[in-house]
Homo-oligomer: A and B are copies of this chain.
Amino acid sequence: MIDKKGILFILSGPSGVGKGTVRKALFDQATDLQYSISVTTRKPRNGEKHGVDYFFHEKEEVEKMIEQNKLLEWAEYVGNYYGTPREYVEETLDSGKDVFLEIEVQGALQVKDNFPEGVFIFLFPPSLEELKNRIINRGTESEDLVRNRLLAAKEEIEMMEAYDYVVVNDEVNHAVEKINSIVQAEHCNRERIAEEYKKALESDME
């Protein structure tokens, strides 16, 4: 009876917290979420497809998108642009599908500015000790680099205030379960749906 619009969910959190692992576990299950496809200026690698893995564009095109505010967020990394195209996200939401974006804290804050109606989920380390271990266990980092990354992580945790939800990543499957609950609960959020329900009732009364 009700014409449902999709919701944009953003998973973010300090570096080392395990965002990628949680996102992978979430998409390894059956899910109705659509993973957000980024634009990039880097060249396609073997087997990568335009519109599936990335939207591949020339540098000038992406710079024009940035200028025209057509990206919900963007960053430059090793000489290439990466960003989230607003049009793709909005078309997917309009088709009734939820979009899921996993991204660094700085990118999430850009999305928040450009798309405040998104649902922002902050992945939280079980403890600072654990976060430190995870950063160290990535291997290649020197002691100085570990200290810097831990300091950066603490600063990123301060950004928690901008988020709607906080999920502790104590165990990947717990975190995934909580994210799935947040997705379902947000589809029951009265502020999002009250208008649609009222319309449905009115047409019901005709």
The interface residues of chain A, by DSSP majority, are classed as: helix
Q: Flag A140-163 by CB within 8 Å of B: 1 or 0 each.
A: 000000000000001001001101
Check: A126 CB closer than 8 A to any chain B CB.
Answer: yes
**Complex interface residues of chain A between 104 and 137 (CB less than 8 A to chain B):** 121-122, 124, 126-129
A residues contacting the other copy or chain, number (CB 8 A):
38
Check: A78 CB closer than 8 A to any chain B CB.
Answer: no
Q: Are B190 and A1 in contact (CB under 8 A)?
A: no
Q: How far is the CA of A1 from the CA of B131 in the complex (A)?
A: 14
Residues in B neighbouring A178, C-beta threshold 8 A: 184-185, 188
Q: Which of A31-39, A86-94, A193-201 contacts B (4 or more CB under 8 A)?
A: A193-201
Q: Which of A46-54, A63-71, A164-172 contacts B (4 or more CB under 8 A)?
A: A164-172
Closest to A162 in B: B190
Q: How far is the CA of A154 from the CA of B188 in the complex (A)?
A: 20
* A166 CB contact (under 8 Å) in B167, B194, B205: B194
* A197 CB contact (under 8 Å) in B160, B181, B200, B204: B160
Residues in B neighbouring A194, C-beta threshold 8 A: 160-161, 166
Q: Are A190 and B165 in contact (CB under 8 A)?
A: yes
Q: How far is the CA of A166 from the CA of B194 in the complex (A)?
A: 8
Q: Are A166 and B197 in contact (CB under 8 A)?
A: yes
* A177 CB contact (under 8 Å) in B1, B164, B184: B184
A-B contact pairs, 26 of them (CB 8 A): A1-B126, A1-B127, A2-B168, A124-B197, A127-B200, A127-B204, A128-B201, A154-B201, A154-B205, A157-B201, A160-B190, A161-B190, A161-B194, A163-B190, A164-B189, A165-B185, A166-B188, A166-B193, A166-B194, A166-B197, A178-B184, A178-B185, A181-B182, A181-B185, A181-B188, A185-B186
